[in-house]
Structure 1
Amino acid sequence: MTDAQMDSGLGGVLGFRYEEVSGGSVVATWTVGPQHLQPFGIVHGGVHCAVNESTASIGAQAWLRDQGLVVGVNNNTDFLRQARSGETLRSVATPIHQGRTTQLWEIETTNAEGKLVSRGQVRLAHIPGTPPPEFLAAIDA
């Protein structure tokens, strides 16, 4: 699986690298660069929200497969520790609930010392549709 196959949108632009993808866990790493910072030199909270939504959506779709599409309906993120340019962060998404019509995922982002930088939850709804074939091929690879 390549990162481009997993996330050709915002996550790709932000440089999220997917180390593990399944319906039970998604692990992404990313190195903080100037594109991630707010004016005061620390990671913009929206980037944490983006990694949460990206990892949860990818994992939720990997679980749902071709039985529909997933869409985020709620994203709550707590920012606990600063991260600065050059730091590599690791975001791990795991499901809390996987049901017939919705899923709820928890995401924890840690720094190189294993300290929690942010924590979030993303709720996703299942809607009619079919994911791109290249996505399904990537999770099967």
Structure 2
Amino acid sequence: MEHVEVGPDKVVVRFTITEHHLQPFGIPHGGIYCAVHESTASTAGQVWLGRKGVVVGTNNSTDFIRQATLGDTITVTATPIHRGRTQQLWHLDSIGPDGRLVAQGQVRLANLDKEIPPEALAAFGLDPEA
């Protein structure tokens, strides 16, 4: 997964469908979209929440609209629907190389009142010493 844009109000990632993403019938497994959606929403939610806690996924709902094929590059964009004190809800669009919607989803995150591990701070570009 390549992070194209990372900010508190939008995260955009890209990935390419490889043989590892195919189910036995040769089409992309829906789980790849679910996994990328949750990862993208979690990144967005954590960047928005910052040092105030840790986000964890509590629900992931993904609809598969049309089939991508081997070699297709998919662009996933996460945008907020709701961001509150205890939870967040993010909308995700997965767009194929032709600009058409491949999958669409929502991921709900819980904002936990926990200290962020130093290695996680570094992964999100936050100074562990600050």
Q: Which residue of 1 aligns with 2:69?
A: 84
Q: Aligned residues: percent identity?
A: 48
Question: Which 4+ stretches in 1 moved above 4 angstroms?
Answer: none
Aligned Cα root-mean-square deviation (Å): 1.3
Q: Which residue of 2 aligns with 1:136?
A: 124
Greater C-alpha Rg? 2
TM-score by length of 1: 0.84
Structure 2, unaligned stretches of length 5 or more? none
Give the letter for the 2:15 counterpart. W
1:96 lines up with 2:81 in the alignment: yes
Query: After the TM superposition, which residues 20-59 of structure 1 pair with which residues of structure 2 at under 5 Å, given as runs?
Result: 20-59=5-44
Deviations 1:17-64 (A, max 9, x none): 101111100100001001111111111011000011000000000000
Secondary structure in 1 matching 2:107: strand
TM-score by length of 2: 0.91
Secondary structure in 2 matching 1:137: coil
Structure 1, unaligned stretches of length 5 or more? 1-15
Deviations 1:3-25 (A, max 9, x none): xxxxxxxxxxxxx1101111100
How many residues align structurally? 124
Alpha carbons of 1:61 and 1:88: their partners in 2 closer, same or farther (altered >3 Å)? same
